[in-house]
Structure 1
């Protein structure tokens, strides 16, 4: 009888231990918000993949924070590149009490969404949205780990003037916060360098027919055209430039057009050979862990890489690093640690200026050689 009681006691102890162990696991949710539907879905999928890959890597590390083993989960949400849907998703994530958000792709979504995240105290780290207005309110929870439009627009204008020796340019933008903001900076810098902006045209981020705009610009005979917008519009624009006999006109754009998919969207138009585009950050070849990371990404998500996934990966890891340093997954506790970051990521060593912009931002200008995106040295 004594032995039987002892065995029962031991079994009960094991059950209790198992229960305690289960209670010592804490779920931490990090959300990706990006356009998973519509014309920009290829960007959104790439963004989400970066977060998913980071979450998978974190779960392999058996991280303990605040005395509890952490189970990391990715929450993937679709903002459809629409500000209204983006803010609705932001409120949903606030209500879910996620621990952090890696978002968004589009500045027009990021600007209103950032206010929602600020009001509910959830950190938002973007490695894609580049309009300077995102960080201007000074929200404690909002950070950017990529160069903003001031660097991209001015860098392209300097390249057009200093390297290509252009004298005249036309400027088109899609009227989004991203496209218009970037185009304004390019135009302002171009004029300050002595280039003449001979025409300024507008479209929208759903358009596919640019013949009227391009015909008007053709009459002004610019050396180059700058487009502030995304690749679903830039691709058809390049095709239509060919149709109008404008294949010799240089074509510039920011990170929104600087994708592998641009060649496909333009049907490898002749004009593709005259494209120069700028991205925030170093090329994969020059990122500290870029090529090794890209190999792992391609094995996990073959054929899906676009632009921003390395930054989304680093943004996720940055949030986890702040939690570890704070020994807490509570945003109220770990958000103050973000400004103190010195995180050695795939893209760079991430440190922040007081305004929550990344320190020492770099840009990479790429061209398309034989239809393939190729970074310049």
Structure 2
């Protein structure tokens, strides 16, 4: 699945008393995700997490190399669209921003990453999971969540070993995220000795699935895997019910929020859907995560969807790298970011040689009473 924060430095001139004095440095952190469109609820969640990080930096007077700075969030909307995402990326590159967190989806993150790389701007994704993002050889690309290889194969193992699935149908939405996740899930199934009995695809704006579901129903599956977002998965689940397909559904973090209950029209049965979040915390980290969730609810009046704690950590990891380097200049703090070892709300933030999170965690969930309920945390 699964969204960006961008950094620009502006220095203002000022004077105090009889002589000129250096003005306080303003570090602008931009955030780019879908603020409009079908996955805007995830985009807003990501932006909220970044905003909380900015508030925290300002509240504690966070410095860079001992120099006091002011932190500012600048938001952009990519609509979940690759073309709009590259336009936003170019706009920020032209503004000589210092860093990026995002974009929200793999389909927007990957094309935008080339623009940031060419401009020498560090980029952290808090949600993009397609392996290609960090396999392009861009030393500016990082992610703070596990990738689809880890996620898909963990889901494949769970489907066979725990859910005892024997006949699995797979649908993807043809996006970089959905297709990549479905491919790795199928690989995970094969590793467990189970093959896909039906393979179909749709698109990320579709609303009618009767044709593909009718074909899938003929294969008599005991599990349907969907690679895509809950804006499509919810209506698909409703139409499965209408066709008498009372089978289980599985997917990644794109379907792993409480929005599934509403989007399915209330047809989602308890335990029917199993999903995995590319991230999560183990028992030792739960107090910090619980505190973050409580602070988020107090600040925004709603619960965390998925991405907020990861975008929060991504902003603070960049700030820590800047402070250690003594500079907000991309060329100076990028080496520090690459070897960071930052303890965040979501766990330890450290990157491998490709920019992937080290020892990425996967969290499995189901839904009960319309609310996401944790099953297990695994690696």
Compute the TM-score of the two structures, normalised by the length of structure 2. 0.92
- Whichever structure has more strand as a proportion of its residues is 2
Task: Assess, with a 3 A threshold, how the Cα gap between structure 1 residues 93 and 83 changes in structure 2: closer, same or farther.
Answer: same
Equivalent runs, 1:202-221 vs 2, <5 Å = 202-221=201-220
Partner of 1:29: 28
Alpha-carbon deviation of 1:263?
0.9
- Aligned 8 A contact 2:230 2:256 in 1: yes
Partner of 1:348: 347
Task: Assess, with a 3 A threshold, how the Cα gap between structure 1 residues 286 and 64 changes in structure 2: closer, same or farther.
Answer: closer
Equivalent runs, 1:1-377 vs 2, <5 Å = 15-16=17-18, 20=21, 23-66=22-65, 68-247=67-246, 249-271=247-269, 273-283=271-281, 287-288=285-286, 289-303=288-302, 305-377=304-376
Larger Rg over CA atoms: 1
Q: Deviations over 1:281-322 (max 9, x none)?
A: 125976452000111111111125211000000000010000
Alpha-carbon deviation of 1:272?
5.9
Which SS does the other structure have where 1:24 is aligned? strand
Q: Which moved more, 1:345-354 or 1:191-200?
A: 191-200
Which SS does the other structure have where 2:197 is aligned? strand
Aligned equivalents of 2:28, 2:222: Cα separation in 1:
49
Which SS does the other structure have where 1:139 is aligned? coil
Stretches of structure 2 that go unaligned for 5 or more consecutive residues are 1-14
Q: Deviations over 1:26-59 (max 9, x none)?
A: 0111111100001111011111101111001101
- Aligned 8 A contact 1:131 1:182 in 2: yes
- Aligned 8 A contact 1:27 1:70 in 2: yes
Task: Assess, with a 3 A threshold, how the Cα gap between structure 1 residues 240 and 273 changes in structure 2: closer, same or farther.
Answer: farther
Task: Assess, with a 3 A threshold, how the Cα gap between structure 1 residues 212 and 161 changes in structure 2: closer, same or farther.
Answer: same
Q: Which moved more, 1:321-330 or 1:281-290?
A: 281-290
Task: Assess, with a 3 A threshold, how the Cα gap between structure 1 residues 168 and 178 changes in structure 2: closer, same or farther.
Answer: same
Aligned equivalents of 1:172, 1:109: Cα separation in 2:
21
Which SS does the other structure have where 1:159 is aligned? helix
Q: Deviations over 1:42-78 (max 9, x none)?
A: 0111111011110011011223324532111111110
Alpha-carbon deviation of 1:342?
0.8
Alpha-carbon deviation of 1:84?
0.7
Q: Which moved more, 1:300-309 or 1:128-137?
A: 300-309
Which SS does the other structure have where 1:212 is aligned? helix
Aligned equivalents of 1:309, 1:112: Cα separation in 2:
23
Aligned equivalents of 2:205, 2:16: Cα separation in 1:
61
- Aligned 8 A contact 1:259 1:307 in 2: yes
Task: Assess, with a 3 A threshold, how the Cα gap between structure 1 residues 66 and 298 changes in structure 2: closer, same or farther.
Answer: same
Compute the TM-score of the two structures, normalised by the length of structure 1. 0.93
Q: Which moved more, 1:285-294 or 1:28-37?
A: 285-294
Partner of 2:4: none
Stretches of structure 1 that go unaligned for 5 or more consecutive residues are 1-12
Which SS does the other structure have where 1:252 is aligned? strand
Which SS does the other structure have where 2:97 is aligned? coil
- Aligned 8 A contact 1:81 1:109 in 2: yes
Alpha-carbon deviation of 1:187?
1.1
Which SS does the other structure have where 1:256 is aligned? helix
Which SS does the other structure have where 2:255 is aligned? coil
- Aligned 8 A contact 1:124 1:143 in 2: yes
Aligned equivalents of 2:255, 2:149: Cα separation in 1:
17
Alpha-carbon deviation of 1:271?
4.6
